[in-house]
A = this chain, B = another copy of it.
Amino acid sequence: MSTDSSLTLISAVRTFGGWLKRYKHQSRTLNCEMIFAIYLPPQAETASVPLLWWLSGLTCNDENFSQKAGAHRVAAELGMAIICPDTSPRGSDFPGEHDSYDFGSGAGFYVNATREPWSKHYRMYDYINEELPQLVRAHFPLNGRESISGHSMGGHGALVLALRNPGRFASVSAFAPIVHPGQCPWGEKAFSGYLGDDRESWKAYDACELIAKDTAKQPLLVDQGEADNFLVEQLKPELLEQVCREHNYPLTLRRQPGYDHSYYFIATFIEEHLRYHAEHLFKV
């Protein structure tokens, strides 16, 4: 296992007075080279700043959010860094790894796979939860305050990361998250493939299951478009509402009429999420 923690800069682009920087590094958790992007606001040139984790959805990589969410303007105003990891290991080329948009490359589901051959590389939970935080804290002017958000598969990832690590994040939000992967086709396909058929093992990566056992009661902010094509079959926000109601869990679920699953939906509401996270990140 390599202990190399060096970063190689791929590109640096000026945006809203700050810098969007893409880096590659050798991941010891994933056993492959990974790319991530980090937005450093203007304030990061002279001070340490808080960090928002953004976890992307199926088929995305580190670039989609930066290009399409329109988040840099508000991040620059607030003085907030944003890190965008990739959504899966890359380059292992297992049989079938690139055949589906919803399993394998671009679809790591933020779990630690236990089934061969995926277990050798597909350990995105540990990568996002341990290796990448250590790496970015060592290399960038961050003040240790962190929040998390994400979209769809990445909304699932954000909820799971926050629920499993109470106190780690100042705040958590999600756009159109997969709230109950154990009870939707995307989740069942991915968890069967990465974790096997023992559904008990799936519960550690299922927001609805975690909420039912959680005592930390972190407030959850969730936006869901009502014209989302995946609403009924995959996303099922009513299951999140139900478990939160049953366990008196603080949920703000906003159903947005007419909005779909695209980045236009995210762009419309990202400012409200960033300001919500800033309220918690900058709280003394």
A interface vs B, CB < 8 Å? 13-17, 20, 67-68, 70, 72-73, 225, 227, 258-260, 262-265, 267-268, 271
Q: Which residues of B contact A258 (CB under 8 A)?
A: 14
Contact A267–B14 (Cβ < 8 Å): no
Given contacts A13-B260, A73-B268, 15 further A-B contacts (CB under 8 A): A13-B262, A13-B264, A14-B260, A14-B265, A14-B268, A15-B264, A15-B265, A16-B267, A16-B268, A67-B68, A67-B263, A68-B68, A70-B70, A72-B267, A72-B268
Q: In the bound complex, what is the Cα–Cα distance between A72 and B264 (angstroms)? A: 9
Q: How far is the CB of A66 from chain B (nearest CB, A)?
A: 8
Question: What distance in Å separates the Cβ of A97 from its nearest Cβ neighbour in chain B?
Answer: 27
Nearest residue, chain B, Cβ from A258? B14
Residue from A14, A20, A72, A258 with most neighbouring chain B CB atoms (10 Å):
A14
Copies in the complex: 2
Interface of A is mostly: mixed
Q: In the complex, what's the smallest C-beta–C-beta distance from A78 to chain B, in angstroms? A: 16
A262: B residues at CB distance < 8 A? 13
Sample (28) of A-B pairs whose CB atoms are under 8 Å apart: A13-B262, A13-B264, A14-B225, A14-B227, A14-B259, A14-B260, A14-B264, A14-B265, A14-B268, A15-B264, A15-B265, A15-B267, A16-B267, A17-B268, A20-B264, A67-B67, A67-B68, A67-B263, A68-B68, A70-B70, A70-B73, A70-B267, A72-B264, A72-B267, A72-B268, A73-B267, A73-B268, A73-B271
- Taken together as a complex, chains A and B put the C-alpha atoms of A227 and B73 apart, in Å, by 20
Whole-angstrom CA separation of A67 from B65 in the bound complex:
11
Residues of B within 8 A of A225 (CB): 14
Closest partner residue, chain B, to A16 (CB atom):
B268
Residues of B within 8 A of A268 (CB): 14-17, 72-73
- Across the two chains, which residue of chain B brings its CB closest to A69? B70
CA–CA, A16 and B258, complex, Å: 11
Output the least CB separation between A14 and chain B (Å).
4
